[in-house]
Structures are given as C-alpha cells and as structure tokens.
C-alpha cells in the first residue's frame, strides 16, 4: 500500500489538464480595449509612431497604451501591462524625433493626486488597427 500511494500521485500529476478548463474571464481593461478596437483589423507592428497630437494617448488600466491618429488606433501592450494604471499620468523622454514615440523612449508613470513616481513602462512595438473593408 505504501508503494501504491506514491505511484497513484505520480499518475495524477502526469495526466494532462482537462480541455474543458475555462480561461479566466477578461479583465475590465481587456473589455475596454476590445470595445476601442471593435470592427478593426491589426496591421504590421512598427517600432515608432508619429505623435503630433500627444493628447490622444490613453492608458487602458492593466492592459495597454492606446494612441488614436485619425482612422488608426495604435496599441502598445508594453512589457509590463499589469503596471499600467489609468489613475497615473505618463512622463515621456524621447530619444529621437520629438514628433515620434518609439519603443526605446523612456516612459515613467506618476500618480495624479500626489504627483509621485509610480513606475517604469517598457514599450513594445506599436500595432496599428484600422477599420476593415468588409
């Protein structure tokens, strides 16, 4: 009996996870982003985007940074999306052109109410989403 118990435990651990296991429900941020991208199709990611109208940059809580430029919505999911808080504001130090936001730019977050540093955002490539023709 002492030998059978460890063998039974090993057999249970070796069993594959059930295909019926459900994925966790989407977060509020994921639902908000899905609504923003409704009817749009993703294009090829780019390292930099033009940001003539910097007021169009939005933090989607715990999910992504979103920049609207005319008919295009640019999404940057960042390396650490969990640290994005829509109660914070962004401080961006650009290394290249002042009219572009690039993956290597230095982005930090600061609390709106206390104006104190809350974190660093590591950008990824920007994915454009445009209305589908169909």
pLDDT for the residue numbered 51: 84
pTM for this structure? 0.79
| pLDDT tens digits for range 66-120 | 999 889 999 999 999 998 999 999 999 988 777 899 999 999 999 999 999 999 9
pLDDT reading at 4 higher than 50: no
Q: Closest Cα to residue 31, out of 58, 52, 62?
A: 62
pLDDT of 55 reads: 65
Grouping H, G, I as helix, E, B as strand and the rest as coil, residue 10 is: helix
pLDDT tens digits for range 12-67: 565 555 556 788 899 999 999 999 999 999 999 999 999 876 568 899 999 999 99
Q: Which of 41, 57, 40, 45 is nearest to 101 (CA)?
A: 57
Domain boundaries, the chain: 26-131
Q: Is the pLDDT of residue 1 over 70?
A: no
User: What is the per-residue burial (b if ≥16 Cβ within 10 Å, else e) of 38-74?
Assistant: eebeeeeeeebbebeeeeebbbbbbbbbbbeeeeebb
What whole-number distance in Å separates Cα of residue 36 and Cα of residue 105?
A: 25
pLDDT recorded at residue 13? 60
């Amino acid at each position: 009996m002492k030998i059978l118990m460890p063998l039974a435990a090993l057999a249970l651990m070796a069993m594959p996870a059930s295909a019926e296991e459900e994925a966790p429900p989407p977060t509020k941020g994921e639902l908000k982003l899905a609504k923003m991208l409704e009817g749009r199709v993703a294009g090829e990611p780019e390292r930099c985007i033009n940001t003539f109208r910097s007021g169009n940059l939005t933090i989607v809580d715990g999910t992504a940074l979103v920049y609207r430029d005319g008919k295009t919505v640019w999404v940057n999911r960042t390396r650490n999306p969990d640290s994005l808080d829509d109660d914070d504001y962004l401080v961006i130090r650009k290394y290249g052109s002042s009219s572009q936001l690039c993956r290597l730019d230095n982005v930090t977050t600061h609390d709106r109410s206390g104006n104190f540093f809350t974190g660093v955002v590591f950008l990824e490539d920007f994915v454009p989403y445009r209305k589908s023709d169909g």
